[in-house]
Amino acid sequence: MPETHPAHAHQFETPEQQYEVSTLGMWAFLVTEIMFFGGLFAGFIVYVTFYAQGFAEGSRHLDITLGTVNTLVLLGSSLTMAMAVHSAQLGRRSRLLIFLALTLALGLVFLGIKGVEYSHKFHEHLVPGPSFRFDSALAQNVQLFFSFYFAMTGMHALHMIVGAGLLIWLMVGTARGRFSTEYFTPVEVTGLYWHFVDIVWIFLFPTLYLVARHQ
């Protein structure tokens, strides 16, 4: 076996083993994330069944345009992330840096638009809690809808912020020449994470914005 790569950790026999371990580790972690969000989805499904009308009413107050734009933004960021991983595989440092930066930018655009949506909701008194106001017999159910809306999109946004942090860390690593065709595992593993966060949104968007509003 040739001399060990600086990134080769002592517990591994070969770099291949280390790579496989890292990717399996990320997949296992993503399974836990599915269960985590799954709990929220389960709760939402229970209540949208009980309170179809109230949830439809609440859903209609979501900005479907901004939601759609955000979906396209995130899909775009997954594309740039995939390009980043590809660049890393090929050892193309500058392209890697560019695609990581683009992914980060798109991610920040997503978070920005989410921030705009949240501020709209705040001004419309639709944030659950003491400031919530909704004139209708269904007010209670609408508040419940928005509780789930904020919990689910909030959790998702938190995961995006972590993702943004990871992207910055990768960009720093790239600039320092840490990655090469022999070793780009962190890029790949971050890619898996980023795609997952995207997929969660692919489920969140129809659930909260599209399906619930039709009753």
What does the binding site for another protein look like in residue numbers (CB under 8 A)?
9-13, 17, 20-21, 24-25, 28-29, 31-33, 35-40, 42-43, 46-47, 50-54, 128-130, 137-138, 140-141, 143-144, 147, 151, 215
Looking at beta carbons only, is 94 or 137 nearer to another protein? 137
CA distance 108 to 161: 8
As measured in angstroms, the least distance from the Cβ of 149 to another protein is 11
Looking at beta carbons only, is 28 or 94 nearer to another protein? 28
CA distance 148 to 153: 8
As measured in angstroms, the least distance from the Cβ of 155 to another protein is 8
Looking at beta carbons only, is 50 or 91 nearer to another protein? 50
As measured in angstroms, the least distance from the Cβ of 105 to another protein is 30
- Asked if 197 and 156 count as a contact pair (C-beta separation under 8 A), the reply is yes
CA distance 26 to 10: 20
Reference 114, options 211, 208, 34; nearest CA is 208
Reference 21, options 6, 10, 35; nearest CA is 10
- Asked if 84 and 99 count as a contact pair (C-beta separation under 8 A), the reply is yes
As measured in angstroms, the least distance from the Cβ of 45 to another protein is 11
Looking at beta carbons only, is 12 or 105 nearer to another protein? 12
